[in-house]
Structure 1
Amino acid sequence: MSTIDIIFVSYNSEKWISGLLKSLTNQNYPLEKLYLTFVDNNSKDNSRKIIESYENKHLFGGYQHFFLDKNLGFGKANNYGVNHTKQDYIFFLNIDTEVDCNCITELINAIDSSDDNVGLWESRQFPYEHPKVYNPVTMETSWSSGACCLVRRDYFIQIGMFDERIFMYGEDVDLSWRFRAQGYKLNYVPKSVVHHYTYMSAGEVKPNQFYNSTYMNLMLRYKFGSIKDIIKGHVMFSGLLFINGPAKSHKSTILKKLLKSPFEGVKYRKWKRKADKSQFRPDFKLWDYEINRDGAFYVNEQPDGFPLVSILIRTCGRPNVLREALLSVRNQTYKNIEVIIVEDGPPISESLLHEEFQDLNIVYKSTNDKVGRCIVGNMALELARGKYFNFLDDDDLLYADHVEVLVSSILKHPECKAAYSISFEVPTEVVSREPYIYREIFHNVQHRQPFNRLVLMHHNYFPIQTVLFDRQIYEDLGGIDPDLEVLEDWDLWMRYAFKYDFLYVEKLTSLYRVPSNISHNTERQALFDQYLSIVREKNLKYKFQIDMASIFKDVEYLMEKPPTIIYKIKGMSFRTLLFKVKNKLFYYGKKILK
């Protein structure tokens, strides 16, 4: 087993230290393999006394502390710790954290399954997971939080360690980008959980974080970006003069930083000139460094129970596509999962499952002859044994916490029999089928809409993989209509929604791919248009299965507060459509009464 140096930087941290140390003693990993190092930045409280007097230091492979006579800042203090340690792996862990019992074990598992070109592994933070995008298949990310990341010592030293000019905030982005500039990858390990108490409440804005992080955004543009990036950074930072900030001295603070920025920026720019041959190019997203997923302040927690969840996958002779969907299932943080795979046609994918996915609980069936996606979906439903079902098309992907988040949410709301989360829509260009090569065009389209039956009557606003539903709904109302070629999921959700409430979970947990090629989209849309009227006609029948008062309530709500996106069909606005629906309801209601 690998030995690990764990480095903590403390500064007036007396309220966190005991809880952190207690959580470390509960690790399901040999404690003698862990070497603890505290670097204290001249604390004025009881931090030093608590660190020195810790009673269980003998349980670890090593326990040392360094009490500095001044505050060096986060990065420089961590470098100090690195220079006084020697293990092959270093875990940088914030002092205001506690670690789950399997935190380090999962990090080591990730290391053992990684290639040599991975230089850093980042744990997942509770209760607020960082919302940046990562690859659900490879688990690669573009930058990693310094609050809980493990690095290879030799790679870390090779790239120059933490930039000691950065006192606090932004040093982790800088470190991540220098790893990537040297050709190393960063991996996210969501099964390794760290409880980080950085925010006292959701959406909290800390003045120190606000000013340092925005200023470092500008300095990172000098260090890594183009001239255009630097100009944009100055415009953005200057714009802060015209807003109300988190501190009374807001404008003077911004002005002082703005005046000194060109002089400091020139110093940061030296790295860019030295590394000019590097192929690395940063991607600034205004104040962010990556596309963010909705749900930054969703409160993550483990579910109260772990009922069996059946992931239902329909596939059709394209194992290279199926492989990625299964890898995203393998990466799930929720353990009690069975995967039902029904292949429409010959058993082309069966050998893939035996060779690469024996670790998953898979039930596989092929139809031999082509029967269509709807019949295949019903076969998957019949084979499933889970308490909850979740469809996943073979070309879509789940983020690692997808099942965990939906199960946790639905168990808290037993009045709802289905839950759905937010999803990315990703236009995708398939370059090659053999081997499977594709290019994703992230447009940052996120499907978000609170549950409303009238909106659902107008359009399907949750893609199929976003919905987790109780098997009771299936047993009560049946499966997919086999007469439909497309829009079968919309028809299914309409039928279910008119009898059961769906719970809206405000976190992005999946992505689904759509063709980026315009001609493909045109063909796809033509087929959808053909079945649109068929499904809408069925919707009129479904709506009378529920209390008419709730329908009118939805109509009145939407009249005053329509969805963010106003859809139009044949020149008809969404609001006009609602009026027509309301009139239709009166018309059909009178007919029923007669």
Structure 2
Amino acid sequence: MSDLVKEMDVLVVCYQPAREGLDELLQSLDRERLRSGVSLRLLVWDNSISEDARERVNQWVAAAPAAFAAQVWRDGGNLGFGGGHNALLAHAKADWLLLLNQDLTLEPDALGQLQQRASSAADVAVWEMRQLPYEHPKVYDPSSLDTPWFSGAAFLIRRTAMLQVGGFEPRIFMYGEDVDLAWRLQAKGWRTCYLPQAAVVHHTYRYAHEVKPLQALEGTLTNLCLRARFGNWSNVARGLAMLGTEIMMPSSFPGRRWGLIKLFFRFWLRFPYFWRSGREWRGKGQSQFLFWNYAMHRDGAFEVFKSRVGVEVAELPLVSVIVRTHARPDVLREALQSLANQTYPRLEVMVVEDGAPTAQAMVEAEFAGRMNVRYFATGEKVGRSEAGNRAMAAAQGEWMNFLDDDDQLFADHVEVLLETALSQGKRGAYGLAWEVATEIDSYSPFRYRELNHATVHRQPFSRLTMWHHNYLPIQAVLFHRSLFERHGGFATEMDQLEDWNLWTRYTLHDDFVMVEKTTSKYRVPANAEVQQARQGKLDEAYQYALAKQAEMKLTMTPQEILALVGDFNRSQTVVYITKSSLRHMFQTWPGLRWLYARRQVVRLGLRRMRAWLPGRA
């Protein structure tokens, strides 16, 4: 690793800010500056248009500690987000620039995490910070942390890289300029990465699923412009067709339809510029257009994450993640990298190798200094189930999670599942998982192509459904150690569906809870022949697993059985209406109440109609 980053220039573009928010930002910067030892210089561009707001910015900059050498600039107008940062770029001197929105605060160790990563990868231009309470849902690689684009709210960027591509696009006033900058950087060979351990609290949404008119309109305009710059005529045509559909849809805020119509003409005024400028960038980056998105999105965009200010890490429960592997260290490496990137700070990683210690050298050399990892091999081959049992018995965590060596966890997996389980008083929680159809080119080195991502299981917890089939991918589940102590581990004679047998036993007396957020990935073969052979083994194992279920005993009251059946019916049907609920609806709804009061007359009329039908006696 190269020397740690010693200094950063902090760039903040203001617009009509509240003084309280500015003070909170400055306090968090000062706290993290002292914690990390990084020297910070504060550069502020003020786009505010009112004299009161400008005076607030002046007072804030004047009150900043001398260590920040804070300065403010303005030109009397509003240059927009990108334009303001371009203006500050001319005054920046540090090799690394930290761009922060005015309405956020830094979480503990945010600068320290940035400092470590910025010093370790020479081909990375940008490290994007994680946003709380709502993480941006776009996809990223859980192991390498590469992201298709980065959010402009909070990120660290190399000054040389930003200068190389000319900074932000000045013709994008707001929203989407960060996507444009990311794609131009990637076209020049730079990587853009996400750093979930470096977090900020961003006060951008007043409530979940809030619709922001300016974001909706300006973001749509930018999407069309980027289609012209990075895409082709087909991309532009599809964008305009989507715009036409949006215009015809019901308005989600006043003025939406008229704003979209005006947007159509605004786009055509910009089209020649973006189409011509695309000659330099078109086809060179990783640009993609998925409807109005620029990448795949994970489910759970508005899952709430709490701030860690004031939280003592030592007081958090220890979570043991158990990784079973056998003689493929290059595959294992990716799984362990996804664990090293977890945002939950108290992890124990148990790597158990079924057989000879093939991966020991790699694990100890690459991960022993990065996380709390324990490796052991069984020596002789004992099977994946027995290997998992030995790891569970040796694990020290109060909570446990499995991760097979060819699967990955997104960085928030442990954090979000543990928070949900604790808040709801459950002994198990599971998230949504992507099933990834994958073509493997080589296992050493590990080279592959992900062809498709699908959320196959979105099943709220149901015991009856669990007894019928497994809807819990093994890596998706976090469970309490007491379940292992009560019910034991895997059935050692099972080499397929051993996790299904485990979950049926662990949920005999304890409910699990589903979190509707995509927190993990598991691979399945894309090759049809391999799929068929794999499915054949699973079909054989299914019958044995059913036989194992027949050995289980469960005592329930009639009321509990009725509740169980009711939950199952509701989970398996699109609409579930009982006779009592239907009767209640007819008795209480005004339009139906009149019909219900005259039900005897209706019945008599129906009988007469049946008697008049041909063929009736």
TM-score by length of 1: 0.91
Find the counterpart in structure 1 of residue 287 from structure 2. Answer: 282
Find the counterpart in structure 1 of residue 229 from structure 2. Answer: 223
Match status 1:70 vs 2:81? no
Find the counterpart in structure 1 of residue 458 from structure 2. Answer: 448
Supply the distance in 2 between the matched residues of 1:563 and 1:110 (Cα, whole angstroms).
49
1:127-526 correspondence runs (5 A): 127-275=133-281, 279-301=284-306, 305-359=315-369, 360-414=371-425, 416-445=426-455, 447-526=457-536
Supply the distance in 2 between the matched residues of 1:211 and 1:280 (Cα, whole angstroms).
25
Q: Secondary structure at the match of 1:141?
A: coil
Supply the distance in 2 between the matched residues of 1:92 and 1:433 (Cα, whole angstroms).
40
Find the counterpart in structure 1 of residue 587 from structure 2. Answer: none
Supply the distance in 2 between the matched residues of 1:472 and 1:560 (Cα, whole angstroms).
30
Supply the distance in 2 between the matched residues of 1:552 and 1:172 (Cα, whole angstroms).
54
Supply the distance in 1 between the matched residues of 2:342 and 2:324 (Cα, whole angstroms).
19
Match status 1:3 vs 2:7? yes
In the TM superposition, residue 101 of structure 1 has moved relative to its aligned partner by 3.0
Which letter does structure 2 place at the counterpart of 1:283?
Q
8 Å CA contact 2:184, 2:281 repeated in 1:
no
Residues 43, 101 of structure 1: alpha-carbon distance in 2 compared, 3 angstrom cutoff: farther
User: Structure 2: 5+ residue runs without aligned partners?
Assistant: 576-617
In the TM superposition, residue 338 of structure 1 has moved relative to its aligned partner by 1.5
In the TM superposition, residue 458 of structure 1 has moved relative to its aligned partner by 2.3
In the TM superposition, residue 543 of structure 1 has moved relative to its aligned partner by 6.5
Residues 246, 383 of structure 1: alpha-carbon distance in 2 compared, 3 angstrom cutoff: same
Q: Deviations over 1:208-253 (max 9, x none)?
A: 1111111211111011101111110010011111112233222221
In the TM superposition, residue 151 of structure 1 has moved relative to its aligned partner by 0.8
In the TM superposition, residue 399 of structure 1 has moved relative to its aligned partner by 1.1
**Deviates further, 8-17 or 518-527:** 8-17
Supply the distance in 2 between the matched residues of 1:246 and 1:31 (Cα, whole angstroms).
47
Supply the distance in 1 between the matched residues of 2:277 and 2:184 (Cα, whole angstroms).
10
Which letter does structure 1 place at the counterpart of 2:12?
F
In the TM superposition, residue 292 of structure 1 has moved relative to its aligned partner by 0.6
In the TM superposition, residue 406 of structure 1 has moved relative to its aligned partner by 1.8
Residues 132, 548 of structure 1: alpha-carbon distance in 2 compared, 3 angstrom cutoff: farther
**Deviates further, 401-410 or 207-216:** 401-410
C-alpha root-mean-square deviation of aligned residues, in Å? 2.0
Residues 214, 199 of structure 1: alpha-carbon distance in 2 compared, 3 angstrom cutoff: same
In the TM superposition, residue 152 of structure 1 has moved relative to its aligned partner by 0.6
In the TM superposition, residue 176 of structure 1 has moved relative to its aligned partner by 0.6
**Deviates further, 60-69 or 212-221:** 60-69
Residues 418, 44 of structure 1: alpha-carbon distance in 2 compared, 3 angstrom cutoff: same
Which letter does structure 2 place at the counterpart of 1:256?
K
When Rg is computed on C-alpha atoms for both structures, the one with the higher figure is 2
Find the counterpart in structure 2 of residue 575 from structure 1. Answer: none
Which letter does structure 1 place at the counterpart of 2:95?
D
Q: Deviations over 1:407-460 (max 9, x none)?
A: 22222233x111111111111111012222111123333532211112222221
Supply the distance in 1 between the matched residues of 2:332 and 2:407 (Cα, whole angstroms).
9
Residues 524, 219 of structure 1: alpha-carbon distance in 2 compared, 3 angstrom cutoff: same
Picking from 83, 98, 107, the partner of 1:100 is 107
Find the counterpart in structure 2 of residue 571 from structure 1. Answer: none
Q: Secondary structure at the match of 2:87?
A: helix
8 Å CA contact 1:141, 1:186 repeated in 2:
yes
8 Å CA contact 2:186, 2:285 repeated in 1:
yes
User: Structure 1: 5+ residue runs without aligned partners?
Assistant: 566-594
Find the counterpart in structure 2 of residue 51 from structure 1. Answer: 57
Residues 32, 151 of structure 1: alpha-carbon distance in 2 compared, 3 angstrom cutoff: closer
TM-score by length of 2: 0.87
In the TM superposition, residue 288 of structure 1 has moved relative to its aligned partner by 0.6
Paired residue total:
562
Q: Where has structure 1 moved over 6 Å in runs of 4 or more? A: none
Residues 498, 40 of structure 1: alpha-carbon distance in 2 compared, 3 angstrom cutoff: same
In the TM superposition, residue 155 of structure 1 has moved relative to its aligned partner by 0.8
Residues 563, 49 of structure 1: alpha-carbon distance in 2 compared, 3 angstrom cutoff: farther
Which letter does structure 1 place at the counterpart of 2:173?
F
Supply the distance in 1 between the matched residues of 2:560 and 2:232 (Cα, whole angstroms).
55
Q: Deviations over 1:60-83 (max 9, x none)?
A: 242001133111111101111111
